[in-house]
Amino acid sequence: MIKIMLVDDHDLVRTGVRRLLEDNPDLEIVGEASSGEEAITLVKELSPDIVLMDLNMPGVGGLEATKKIKHLTPKVRIIIVTMVDDIMFPQRLLKAGASGYLTKGASADEIMRAIRDAMVNKRFISPDLAMKMATASDDDKSPFDELSERELQVLMMLLEGQRVTDISNKLFLSPKTISTYRSRLHEKLNVKTDIELTRLAIEYGIIAGNPH
């Protein structure tokens, strides 16, 4: 029996994935979490084989949660299931220890293949995204490629609408340090406000939305 844990801040998404998987007799959904922090705690309690992890969530988010879970319980396989289709993210997540990267448009067959591959230590990336990665040129690079992992983490939390004080508490850094990261993000991405930052993130597929 393969033990699965679902991590997504939307109940509807978790319900949808659960229904896609429940017809497989060798899979068992052992738990659900709605944040990265909750996922880190539950993994230690439930010892799942596979974690299906969203990327954009309140709190530390999927990238940091993946790194922490892999550090604490290296045998757990993590598959990212997200709306984010920027080719930078699969590379970052695989480097952090993820076993797969799926967009939320993935079919049930693709999810099952990712789970089966992860169980034999093979990596799986959504075919459409894998094609984008294989055919990408220097012209396809986004300004977000140059961000460090910590800058990227702060960026994702800002895009979630989290305040500087909240981010500092969750990352155990001072508000001044977070404000410095925020200023550095504005400078590196050539924007002046968080609204411009959000528009740029939408334009490059970092978050869903309408930039206009």
**Residue 23 — pLDDT band, cuts 50, 70, 90?**
confident
Angle among Cα 88, 93, 94 to the nearest 5 degrees reads 105
pLDDT digits (tens, 9 = 90+) for 76-85: 999 999 988 7
Question: Phi, psi (5° rounding) for residue 80?
Answer: -80, 130
- Kindly tell me if the per-residue pLDDT of 209 is higher than 70: no
Residue 139 has pLDDT above 80, yes or no: no
Q: Which domain holds residue 191?
A: 142-203
* pLDDT tens-digit series, residues 93-102: 998 999 999 9
Asked whether the predicted pLDDT for residue 28 surpasses 80, the reply is: yes
Question: Is 170 part of a structural domain of the chain?
Answer: yes
Residue 195: predicted pLDDT: 92
pTM (whole model) above 0.95: no
pLDDT above 80 (res 141): no
Give the list of residues 6+ apart from residue 102 with CB closer than 8 angstroms, or none: 79, 80, 81, 82, 110, 111, 114, 124, 125, 126
Residue 208 resides in a domain: no
The answer, yes or no, to whether residue 208 has pLDDT greater than 90, is no
Look at residue 180 in the predicted model and tell me its pLDDT: 96
Q: What is the CATH number of the domain that holds 86?
A: 3.40.50.2300
Q: Give me 60's structure tokens.
A: 């530390």
Of 9-13, 87-91, 178-182, 196-200, least confident by mean pLDDT is: 87-91
pLDDT at res. 212:
36
Mean pLDDT estimate for the chain: 90
Question: Does 151 map to a domain?
Answer: yes
Q: Using the predicted structure, report yes or no on whether residue 210 has a pLDDT greater than 50.
A: no
CATH code of the domain in which 186 resides: 1.10.10.10
Q: Are residues 11 and 97 in the same domain?
A: yes
Q: Based on the domain organization, do 130 and 175 belong to the same domain?
A: no
Residues 108 and 123 in one domain: yes
List the structure tokens of 24. Answer: 């497989």
**Tens digit of pLDDT for each residue in 40-52?**
999 999 999 999 9
